[in-house]
Amino acid sequence: MFSAARIHELLIEGLPDCRAIVRDDANDGEHFSAEVTSSAFVGLRSVQQHRLVYRALGDHMRRDIHALALKTYPPDRWPHAD
């Protein structure tokens, strides 16, 4: 079983200046949601931002993560107060 904490760790390691909120929505270790911001997203469309997230997660997207509902933001659009 995979965990939201592991996804968070991979995103932080794989994306510069990353902040992420990851949830295991079904509590099943397979269906997750994530909100992610990174300086790498600046100037990119959503589809391009999502590709960067998938790249950071690597083979886990095929093996361990059945579904990932994803919202991405450049840093100046991050909706969560620090």
Question: Phi then psi for 22, rounded to 5 degrees?
Answer: -120, 135
Domain locations along the chain:
4-77
Average model confidence (pLDDT) across the chain: 95
Instruction: Check: CB of residue 7 under 8 Å from CB of residue 15.
Output: no
- Report the predicted TM-score, pTM, of the whole model to 2 decimal places: 0.93
The architecture that CATH gives domain 4-77 is 2-Layer Sandwich (3.30)
- The confidence score (pLDDT) of residue 1 equals 76
Per-residue pLDDT, 82: 64
Write the DSSP symbol of residue 20. Answer: E
Residue 78 token pair: 């991050």
pLDDT tens-digit profile of 45-77? 999 999 999 999 999 999 999 999 999 999 999
Is 58:49 a contact under the CB 8 Å cutoff? no
